[in-house]
């Protein structure tokens, strides 16, 4: 009998623990970064750090292994960001480490338990090579939505990203200290993350995006998936490990006709870089061909949040764009997600929008690597599986519904950083596809609960029979609820944002990257919302 009781308790305990370990979703939304500045919104992931908790806004970085948090010495570029107020807003608020009783300073980031290396291959931000060695380092509690976890943090003392618009950097690279900590704490089942950027700048289908850890959101995907190996080698020319080939780019006109603006046999190899703020960085000839096909004439380049986009003030194209990738994926991007209003941050910290102008979220490059940025993921869905060493893409289904599916290498609370494979993963191999999906947390939890119920009945019957032989009859009662399977993001009532003015600068922007001292930059930002979008204010309580 003792053995049966122990077995029942063991299975029950595993089921209870399993309830706490599943995929979690964090909103990518507009967050007010400064309560003293009206409309000081930045689009990112609302997070809390330190003790007592301080509110910040974070951006997922696909290649960084460490997480980097800005304090008041964030060193924004003064030629673009004219005062401290703009810098504070663009950085997503400051973390004041001296106000946190749980912050413990260390001599360096590695001593704090941080990753010893960052990716520094061609294409990365030029300052990444010195980030680890120059950052103030320590440990503190960080909560991005799944609960606080103590992790190593770097606090930059170097303008490593040029300081145009980048928020606090949540490192989700192959040796992510944040993902490792969550797996070790049993908060997520695997080192998997998935991304949908959402929709903005539209009155009809605006919605929050989401970052899912430990799985993906089945409601956000359509049709077949396409899975490829992650490859960070210098030979691939892709510092995030996610390289794809664009075979064709079609201009979709409103009359139903399509026109390819890429010549035959001119496929472009691209690095997927979700934190970059444009739709596509491509050879200049392709961007010129778009203008020729649509008869649009630019008036210069943007120096706002859509950094280096081409700027227009009349004759706006009203069609769409379709990307055809060599792996078989086709992604159609609506007009509102690549021809956006001019957006900037005013000197008082307010985000301002000028809808009389449009910015084309494509940047012409010379010899730098081409990239697909965050606006690509308004129409595509991305999942990165560091345990299986693969990445998967689908056509996105822009939906406010959420149904999270776990992708696991065999349970929670294991050792992070392993090389196990996903259970029932999506397809593997370049260009392959499959209808299989990763393991559903509902099926796993249901099986556990069912096993617990059967064992509990057996144990109860055994106990009753034994007691009847020795004691008066005893009635027994018991009840249990099924565990919560899915973690759905909450959508709160919105506030309206109105833009009233803008800045305009002459000339063309330049950016420093590791492969070239002078590089046209690209940075964009977030947008308008309706009743389906969440507005967060950094007030210490409204998440």
Instruction: Based on the fold, state whether residues 344 and 468 are members of the same structural domain.
Output: no
Region 375-381 average pLDDT: 98
Residue 450 lies in a domain: yes
pLDDT at 256: 96
What is the C-alpha to C-alpha distance for residues 167 and 7, in angstroms, rounded to an integer? 49
What is the C-alpha to C-alpha distance for residues 105 and 226, in angstroms, rounded to an integer? 43
Instruction: Based on the fold, state whether residues 391 and 456 are members of the same structural domain.
Output: no
**β-pair type (221-229, 390-396):** antiparallel
Instruction: Based on the fold, state whether residues 203 and 336 are members of the same structural domain.
Output: yes
What is the C-alpha to C-alpha distance for residues 32 and 42, in angstroms, rounded to an integer? 7
Residue 234: burial class (beta carbons within 10 Å; 0-12, 13-18, 19+): exposed
Question: Which residues face 312 on adjacent strands?
Answer: 358
**Ramachandran category for residue 308: left, alpha or beta (phi over 0 → left; psi -120 to 50 → alpha):** left
Residue 113 lies in a domain: no
Residue 251 lies in a domain: yes
∠ CA 446-452-458, nearest 5°, is: 140
Longest Cα–Cα distance of the chain, Å, equals 94
Residue 376 lies in a domain: yes
Residue 200 lies in a domain: yes
Structure confidence by residue, pLDDT tens digits, 421-431 = 333 334 433 33
pLDDT at 166: 84
Instruction: Based on the fold, state whether residues 353 and 468 are members of the same structural domain.
Output: no
Cis ω for the linkage preceding 52 (within 30 of 0): yes
Model confidence at 75, pLDDT cuts 50, 70, 90, reads: confident
Q: In the numeric block, which tokens belong to residue 347?
A: 């000197």
Secondary structure letter of residue 240 according to DSSP: T
Instruction: Based on the fold, state whether residues 220 and 338 are members of the same structural domain.
Output: yes
What is the C-alpha to C-alpha distance for residues 340 and 335, in angstroms, rounded to an integer? 8
Region 224-244 average pLDDT: 94
Cis ω for the linkage preceding 509 (within 30 of 0): no
Structure confidence by residue, pLDDT tens digits, 269-319 = 999 999 998 999 999 999 999 999 999 999 999 988 998 999 999 999 999
Nearest alpha-carbon partner for 374 in 62, 70, 123 = 62
Q: Output the CA torsion 258→264→265→268 (10° steps).
A: -40
Instruction: Based on the fold, state whether residues 330 and 448 are members of the same structural domain.
Output: no
Q: Please check the confidence at residue 443 and state whether its pLDDT lies above 50.
A: no
Instruction: Based on the fold, state whether residues 333 and 216 are members of the same structural domain.
Output: yes
Instruction: Based on the fold, state whether residues 328 and 445 are members of the same structural domain.
Output: no
**What's the total number of domains in the chain?**
2
Residue 383 lies in a domain: yes
Q: Residue 309: give the domain boundaries.
A: 195-398
Residue 311 lies in a domain: yes
Please tell me whether residue 85 adopts helix, strand or coil conformation.
helix
Q: Please check the confidence at residue 505 and state whether its pLDDT lies above 70.
A: no
Secondary structure letter of residue 387 according to DSSP: T
Q: Are 154 and 135 spatial neighbours (Cβ–Cβ below 8 Å)? A: yes
pLDDT at 435: 32
Q: Please check the confidence at residue 493 and state whether its pLDDT lies above 80.
A: no
Q: In the numeric block, which tokens belong to residue 439?
A: 């393991």
Instruction: Based on the fold, state whether residues 319 and 203 are members of the same structural domain.
Output: yes
What is the C-alpha to C-alpha distance for residues 275 and 208, in angstroms, rounded to an integer? 16
Domain end, chosen from 398, 428, 460, is at 398
Share of the chain above pLDDT 90, in %: 60
Q: Output the CA torsion 99→213→128→345 (10° steps).
A: -70
Instruction: Based on the fold, state whether residues 480 and 339 are members of the same structural domain.
Output: no
pLDDT at 229: 97
Instruction: Based on the fold, state whether residues 465 and 344 are members of the same structural domain.
Output: no
Q: In the numeric block, which tokens belong to residue 133?
A: 């060695």
Instruction: Based on the fold, state whether residues 391 and 274 are members of the same structural domain.
Output: yes
Residue 215 lies in a domain: yes
């Amino acid at each position: 009998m003792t053995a049966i009781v122990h077995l029942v308790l063991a299975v029950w305990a595993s089921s209870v623990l399993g309830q706490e370990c599943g995929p979690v979703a964090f909103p990518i939304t507009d967050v007010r970064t400064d309560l003293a500045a009206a409309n000081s919104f930045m689009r990112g992931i609302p997070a809390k750090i330190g003790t007592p908790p301080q509110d910040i806004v974070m951006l997922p970085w696909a290649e960084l292994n460490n997480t980097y948090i800005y304090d008041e010495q964030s060193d924004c570029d003064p030629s673009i960001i004219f005062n401290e107020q703009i810098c504070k807003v663009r950085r997503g608020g400051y973390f004041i480490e001296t106000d946190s009783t749980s912050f413990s300073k260390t001599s360096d980031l590695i001593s704090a338990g941080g990753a010893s290396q960052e990716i520094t291959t061609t294409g990365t931000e030029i300052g990444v090579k010195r980030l680890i060695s120059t950052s103030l380092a320590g440990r503190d509690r960080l909560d991005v939505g799944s609960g606080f976890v103590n992790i190593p943090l770097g606090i930059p003392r170097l303008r490593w990203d040029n300081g145009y618009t980048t928020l606090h950097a949540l490192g989700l690279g192959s040796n992510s200290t944040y993902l490792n900590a969550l797996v070790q704490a049993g908060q997520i089942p695997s080192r998997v993350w998935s991304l949908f950027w959402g929709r903005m700048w539209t009155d009809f289908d605006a919605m929050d995006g989401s970052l899912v850890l430990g799985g993906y959101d089945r409601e956000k995907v359509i049709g077949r998936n396409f899975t490829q190996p992650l490859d960070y080698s210098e030979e691939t020319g892709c510092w995030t490990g996610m390289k794809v080939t664009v075979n064709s780019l079609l201009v979709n006109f409103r009359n139903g006709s399509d026109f390819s603006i890429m010549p035959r046999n001119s496929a472009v190899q691209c690095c997927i870089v979700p934190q970059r703020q444009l739709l596509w960085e491509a050879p200049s000839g392709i961007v010129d061909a778009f203008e020729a096909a649509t008869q649009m004439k630019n008036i210069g380049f943007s120096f706002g949040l859509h950094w280096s986009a081409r700027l227009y003030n009349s004759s706006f194209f009203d069609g769409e764009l379709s990307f055809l990738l060599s792996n078989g994926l086709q992604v159609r991007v609506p007009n509102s997600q690549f021809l956006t209003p001019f957006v900037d941050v005013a000197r008082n910290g307010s985000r301002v929008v000028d809808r009389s102008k449009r910015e084309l979220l494509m940047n012409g490059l010379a010899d730098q690597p081409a990239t697909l940025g965050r606006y690509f993921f308004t129409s595509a869905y991305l999942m990165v599986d560091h345990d299986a060493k693969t990445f998967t893409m689908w056509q996105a289904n822009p939906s406010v519904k959420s149904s999270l599916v776990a992708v696991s290498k065999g349970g929670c609370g294991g050792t992070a950083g392993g090389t196990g494979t996903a259970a029932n993963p999506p397809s593997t191999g370049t260009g392959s596809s499959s209808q299989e999906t990763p393991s559903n947390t509902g099926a796993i939890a249901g099986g556990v609960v069912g096993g617990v119920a059967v064992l509990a009945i057996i144990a109860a019957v055994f106990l009753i029979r034994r007691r009847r032989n020795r004691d008066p009859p005893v009635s027994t009662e018991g009840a249990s609820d099924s565990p919560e399977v899915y973690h759905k993001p909450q959508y709160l009532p919105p506030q309206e944002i109105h833009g009233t003015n803008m800045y305009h600068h002459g000339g063309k922007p330049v950016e420093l990257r590791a492969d070239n001292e002078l590089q046209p930059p690209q940075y964009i930002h977030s947008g308008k919302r309706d009743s389906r979008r969440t507005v967060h204010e950094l007030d210490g309580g409204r998440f």
